[in-house]
Amino acid sequence: MTRPALIASVCIGIAGIAAIATVVLIRGESFAAPQMSEEQRATREKFFGTGKALPPIEKGQEMRPRW
């Protein structure tokens, strides 16, 4: 095996290992979503409002703000 071919195969191997490691790390983080405590949930609802859906828009109601 020539020297350039050896260097190219090592680089391809390192790139493959890095790609696999990236996929494993990203998938591992998505499954480990931490749960919020009741205190955090109450603070979030106080700051952002409740998590309930907004009421439907009535017919003829404007969507833009009234400046």
The two three-digit tokens of residue 22, written as one number: 């990236």
pLDDT at 31: 64
Q: Is the pLDDT of residue 63 over 80?
A: no
CB 57 within 8 A of CB 63: yes
Contact 35, 41 (CB under 8 A): no
* pLDDT tens digits, one per residue of 5-39: 999 999 999 999 999 999 988 886 666 566 878 89
Mean pLDDT of 52-56: 73
